[in-house]
Amino acid sequence: MNAFAKKTALVTGASAGLGVEFARQLAPHVSTLILTARRWDKLDALKKELEAKHAGLVVHHYAGDLSLADTPEALVRWTGEMGLKVDVLINNAGFGDYGPFESSDWTKVRNMISVNVMALTELTHRILPGMVERGSGTIINVASIAGLIAMPDFAVYAATKAYVCSFSDALCNELAGTGVTVTALCPGPVPTEFGDVAARPHSSRIFQPPAFFKVTPEKAVKDALCGATRGSARVIPGWVVKVPMLGMEVIPPFVLRNVSGLMKALIQGKNPKKAAENEPVAL
């Protein structure tokens, strides 16, 4: 983690899940953390926790909704006004929607695209030039294995993560030799609030993948940070997930469509009582 020593890191979606874990694992190494999410109380609690635990660490927090078109610009402008230069950008903010596309709520779908795609792209666009000018920088974009294979009942979410994978791969190649690295984190299911947010009101569908697919937030983030220090373009935590995902890159599309049907069967449950006994997971 020496690559992050004395750096300034910006983590989006830092009020829960992988965002909190990114903040906790970066805290012992960076000099400054910028945490952003919608929930001020969660950010403030995390700020106090990290500053109390790590002497000399400075934590700034910015409450904002990245589904709103003007938030990314406002966030970057605020960092400039604070005299902060972002060395490490963790584009973690995102959420899903679970269920058939035709019955989806359009407002939720639109907001999901805004956060998962538009905000991530704009923040990268506004912060990247400074990294290139300084000749160093790290960008980690949180994607998903859902971005590597079509996912029935996660159609738009999977499409947004496919964008993140493609965008990250392209930037990784573009920026070769500049000192700036771009890594796409593509985890399988991770215990977070994802399932609760993706679920639809009054739906009997639950997102409950098998336990052997899951990786912990700690492992997902550790693998992402270690991969970024090595300049890895893509990180897929956990061999149980990584091996089949890598194999899918050489499988013909018509076969993958059948595989995606199998994935649907693996992650879907229909017993709300049983689901309540299990922790929600991110994909």
What residues act catalytically?
157
135 Ramachandran zone, left/alpha/beta (phi>0; psi -120 to 50): left
- Residues in CB range of 260: below 8 A, 6 or more apart: 149, 150, 151, 152
Closest CA relative to residue 72, chosen from 118, 131, 21: 118
Question: Within the chain, how many helices (H) and strands (E) appear?
Answer: 11, 11
Residue 234: φ, ψ to 5°: -145, 140
CA distances (Å), 252 to each of 168, 176, 191, 238, in order? Answer: 23, 30, 31, 24
Query: 180 pairs with which residues across the strands?
Result: 137
Six-digit token string for 27? 């805290």
User: Distance between CA 16 and CA 8 in Å, rounded?
Assistant: 20
Six-digit token string for 22? 């990114």
End-to-end CA distance of the chain: 26
For 90, the enclosing helix (H) or strand (E) is: strand 88-91
Query: 127 pairs with which residues across the strands?
Result: none
3-state secondary structure of 3: helix
